[in-house]
Amino acid sequence: MARPSIRVDDTLHWYEVAFEHDHAMRQRRYRDAQHWLVIALKRLEQEGRPPTIKDIATLVGRSPATIRRIVRRYNERGEDNFIPPSPTPPGAPGRKRKLTGSQLQRVRVMLSTGRQRNGQPWTADAVRREMRKRFHVDVSRTTAWRYLKRARTTGQAGLFTDG
């Protein structure tokens, strides 16, 4: 005997529920995201229409072209082989680091004082210049800023640039 259908309270429209799903995914709360996805699909069912490609794209945060590609792959390969393998196997290292462990240690020591040799506070631009000079390595301002944050020398205003 089939169970009776459960209705979902209609206080939120399905696309508002989709927003909650997207928000949970961005915060890496995957279990919450699954629950929101279930509610969004149930809301679409209650509206009496099947979800379109655009609806599904909105729900999962992908483009309609990606959704079509996934569906085509599923139809061609079946349920066991439609998910492509990850480009990097689990446990594999990511991008190669620009600095070695000993160089990173030297950067930490350099930044731990909170001041450059000339007495000025460290800035992201100053860190970039020093790394280029000492290690012949170019890093972005963002990376230099992260080194400063890790060294906890970011208490002063205007550290991101020299200006």
pLDDT digits (tens, 9 = 90+) for 63-96: 888 888 888 887 888 777 777 776 666 666 767 7
Model confidence pLDDT, tens digit, residues 116-148? 888 888 888 999 998 899 899 999 999 888 888
The DSSP output letter for 9 is P
Per-residue pLDDT band at 3 (split at 50, 70, 90): low
Nearest to 137, CA basis, from 94, 92, 106, 93: 106
Q: What pTM does this model have?
A: 0.40
Within 10 A of 129 (CB to CB), how many other CB atoms are there?
14
Nearest to 58, CA basis, from 88, 74, 37: 37
DSSP-derived 3-state class of residue 115: strand
Residues 120 and 156: beta-carbon distance below 8 Å:
no
